[in-house]
Amino acid sequence: MSVEKLRVAKNKWIITYIVFLIVIIIIAIHFAIISLVEENPYASTMIFMLILAAAYISYNLWKTIKVEIPLFKTFMLVKCSSCGYAEIMTPKKGDYVFKTIGPCPKCGGEFTIYSIYREKIKTRSAFSLSLLKTK
């Protein structure tokens, strides 16, 4: 699963859990009002069940929010074959290892890609931030 799909799935689940939680709270308030107005022995049982359901959904919501989606950035190490001058750059489409990308800025020798790698730059855990970025 790609990072983008993972983020969309995470946000969908967070929204679903929040909607569930709101619905359960509304139903619980409804039963609370019923138990205040009339003597209904089932109202308190229902409220207890709804509190349990709300606790379970809150737990799932918290777990979903805590899911960290790692962000990666790709880098490449470019080195000069004559003087050894090295630089870290962002690769472009079509770049590969041992490709000569031009003259060395120091001596004018062959500037060759030595390695292409990716690094974890940060993890996203803030829900509001990731929600804003998908839109």
Return residues touching Zn ion (CB under 5 A): 80, 83, 85, 104, 106-107, 109
In 3D, which of 123, 119, 102, 98 has the Cα closest to residue 111? Answer: 102
Question: With the CA atoms of 21, 23, 29 and 30 taken in that order, what torsion angle do they form, in degrees rounded to the nearest 10?
Answer: -160
Whole-number minimum distance, CB 126 to Zn ion, in Å? Answer: 44
- Beta strand 100-103 with 110-124 is antiparallel
Q: Which is nearer to Zn ion, 70 or 84 (CB)?
A: 84
- Smallest distance from the beta carbon of 106 to Zn ion, in angstroms? 4
Distance in Å, CB of 87 to Zn ion, minimum: 10
**71, β-bridge pairs:** 122
CB-wise, 61 or 80, nearer to Zn ion? 80
Nearer to Zn ion, 63 or 106 (CB): 106
Of residues 129, 127, 135, 133, the one with CA closest to residue 11: 127
Question: 70 or 108: whose CB is closer to Zn ion?
Answer: 108
Minimum CB distance to Zn ion, residue 101 (Å):
13
